[in-house]
Amino acid sequence: MPARNLVKPSGIAFIASFIQLARASVFFEKKTMSSQSESAPSRALVIATVTFYMISGIIMCAHSFKSQMVTVNKWVLIKTSIPVFFLVIQLAIAVVLLLISHFARVFVIPKMSLATVKGLWKLLALNVTGLCFNNFTLQYVDASFYQVARGMVLPLTVLITFIAYHSLPSRNALVACVIVSSGFFIGIIWGGNAQNSISPMGVMFGVLSSITTACHAIAIKSSLPVVDGSTMSLAWYSNFLSAIALLPISLMIGEGPEIMRTWRDPDLLNRFIWGGTITGFWGFFICLAGLLSIKVTSPVSHMVSSAARGVIQTGVSVWLFGDIINLGRGASISAIILGSCAYVYAKSKEAALGSPRPSGYSSLAKEDVEKALTDEQDRSD
């Protein structure tokens, strides 16, 4: 299949997209802030927020394909070996966009305080490690398998919640988690193809990425009160402080020589600059949309939409760009989709019926998660 060149968006298109998405982000921020004074977010607000999150990811997908690749991240990392420094550039671009929002009076950057940083340190640690594991996964697996490698996010989120708070989901929800888990194992056993074999290191980093993602989603709930419930402020702290933390990590793991090689090679530098610009730009809005999704719904619901979005991205790569998916990988993706949908259906039926669970099964409400995490944070301080 002939290689496709990465489409470089014009400056005008970037600015127009930024203004439109910034307005959408601020709109949802105001709507979610106002909904806190009500008993619960409306169904329309939940649907709109999740849709915003999914569309942000799909737009990212549409801007990030090259032949045989799903994301610009893979397009860059397949030629360079500086995944952590690439993250620094992406986060720096997000910081610049937040500064632009500040000067355009769309968003007011909060004053940095030691108390706030202390309150967010767990979230920041998870953010830094999770981002690293994401890019390490991309370095070791082909793009279409990336979503399978991270397919355990939902089961691990439920498992971590049970370990931390001793709360079991319903039997139907557990069955859904088993389906998702089976999809993951089908993928790692039969998901290899003639182009690329399955890398054990890639699978390991994918599982580690899933663990940190699950913990990160839960930690966001307890971190929002630290910034007075503002997702924009949380995005500022997350991007700014994570960039500062990742820069020395990049140098400590020996990426310095590769950074200099990229700087001296015009082709690599061009690829790196455009890849960082595109992923930093759209990643910024995915970050905001993800924070809003968790704020309005719940950590597990957000993980379902996140996993489903990733599977949809893989499907788009097959449909538009001819990415090869064998029978095992296709069955794996299908099982992950089916299990995610079954989980959402089980949770919605429980909420609608309000019926008691079988003995030994109890629900952990969002408020309980938030209170427990906040209490844990207070004890650590």
Residue 13 has pLDDT above 60, yes or no: no
Could you tell me the pLDDT band of residue 149, with boundaries at 50, 70 and 90?
confident
CA 144 – CA 317 distance, rounded (Å): 8
Identify the pLDDT of residue 129: 92
Residue 288's pLDDT is what? 62
- Output the pLDDT for position 182: 94
List of residues 6+ apart from 322 with CB closer than 8 A: 1, 67
C-alpha 54/C-alpha 48 separation (Å) is 10
Using the predicted structure, report yes or no on whether residue 301 has a pLDDT greater than 70.
no
pLDDT confidence band for 270 (50 / 70 / 90)? confident
For the stretch 325-361, what's the b/e string if a residue is b when 16 or more beta carbons lie within 10 angstroms of its beta carbon?
beebbbbbbebbbebbebbbebbeebeeeeeeeeeee
Q: How far is 214 from 126, CA to CA, in rounded Å?
A: 10
- Mean pLDDT of the region 246-275: 85
Q: What is the dihedral of CA 63, 86, 84, 292, to 10 degrees?
A: -50
Between 158 and 19, the more confident residue is: 158
pLDDT at 323: 57
Q: Give 137-169 as a 3 state SS string.
A: HHHHCCHHHHHHHCCCHHHHHHHHHHHHHCCCC
Rounded distance between C-alpha atoms, residue 240 and residue 234, angstroms: 10
C-alpha separations of 329 from 25, 74, 150, 154 in Å: 35, 19, 13, 18
39-53, 98-112, 321-335, 355-369 — which is least confidently predicted? Answer: 355-369
Question: With the C-alpha atoms ordered 36, 41, 44, 45, is the resulting torsion angle positive or negative?
Answer: positive
Domain limits, the chain: 11-380
Q: d(Cα 311, Cα 206) in Å, to the nearest integer?
A: 15
pLDDT for the residue 14? 45
Mean pLDDT of 195-210: 85
Q: What is the mean pLDDT of residues 120-139?
A: 88
| Residue 296 pLDDT exceeds 90 | no
Output the average pLDDT for the chain: 71
| pLDDT (0 to 100) of residue 146 | 78
C-alpha closest to that of 259 among 82, 93, 91: 82
Q: In this predicted model, what pLDDT tens digit does every residue of 337-371 receive, in sequence order?
A: 788 878 877 877 776 676 444 444 444 344 434 33
Q: Nearest-CA neighbor of 72 among 249, 254, 274?
A: 274
Supply the pLDDT for residue 64.
Answer: 40
Q: How confident is the model at residue 259 (pLDDT cuts 50, 70, 90)?
A: confident
| Mean pLDDT comparison of 179-188, 213-222, 260-269, highest-scoring range | 179-188
> How large is the average pLDDT for residues 231-255?
88
Q: How many CB atoms lie within 10 A of CB 312?
A: 17
Neighbours of 81 (CB within 10 A): 16
pTM score above 0.75 = no
Between CA 379 and CA 381 the distance in angstroms is: 5
Position 204 scores a pLDDT of 93
Answer whether 212's CB lies under 8 Å from 126's CB: yes
Provide the 3-class DSSP secondary structure of residue 69: strand
| Distance, C-alpha 351 to centroid of its chain | 26
